[in-house]
């Protein structure tokens, strides 16, 4: 079984890119805090991730640097050769599901003018006889 789940904060605002065939893709890094003993200084791991298609578009639309994010996906290792001919090995989570890790921050209340009598219905006195 190949399943990875992490919760942490984005280290940078994600940028949407397109492949030559027009497929949306976004590579991003999540800082995940390690559990530490009481009194010890906290440590973090920086996990590389990649999102494709609608998941990448969702990520870039709603998340920014510092956003808390939950990522579920699979771990993938790939190899490539860089411009200098060196062989590079990359291990990353291929994000299959991305969720908000915290609720949205409340926006400031808009300035609303106090109500006026203009356009308000007037009450009809009850002392008259009506045929209905």
DSSP per-residue letters across 18-72? E-TT--EEEEEEEEEEPP--TTSPP-EEEEEEEEEHHHHHHHHHH--TT-EEEEE
Q: What is the CATH number of domain 4-36+43-100?
A: 2.40.50.140
Q: Is the pTM of this model over 0.85?
A: no
Give me the residue spans of the domains in the chain: 4-36+43-100
Mean pLDDT of 96-125: 65
**pLDDT of the residue at 103:** 72
pLDDT one-digit tens code per residue, 10-20: 999 999 999 99
């Amino acid at each position: 079984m190949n399943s990875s789940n992490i919760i942490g904060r984005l280290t940078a605002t994600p940028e949407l890119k397109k492949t030559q065939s027009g497929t949306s893709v976004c590579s991003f890094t999540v800082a995940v805090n390690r559990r530490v003993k009481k009194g010890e200084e906290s440590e973090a791991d920086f996990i590389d991730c990649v999102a494709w298609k609608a998941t990448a578009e969702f990520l870039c639309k709603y998340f920014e640097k510092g956003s808390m994010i939950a990522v579920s996906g699979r771990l993938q290792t790939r190899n490539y050769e860089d411009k200098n001919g060196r062989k590079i090995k990359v291990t990353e989570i291929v994000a299959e599901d991305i969720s908000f890790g915290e609720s949205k921050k409340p926006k400031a209340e808009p300035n609303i003018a106090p109500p006026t009598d203009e356009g308000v219905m007037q009450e009809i006195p009850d002392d008259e006889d009506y045929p209905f």
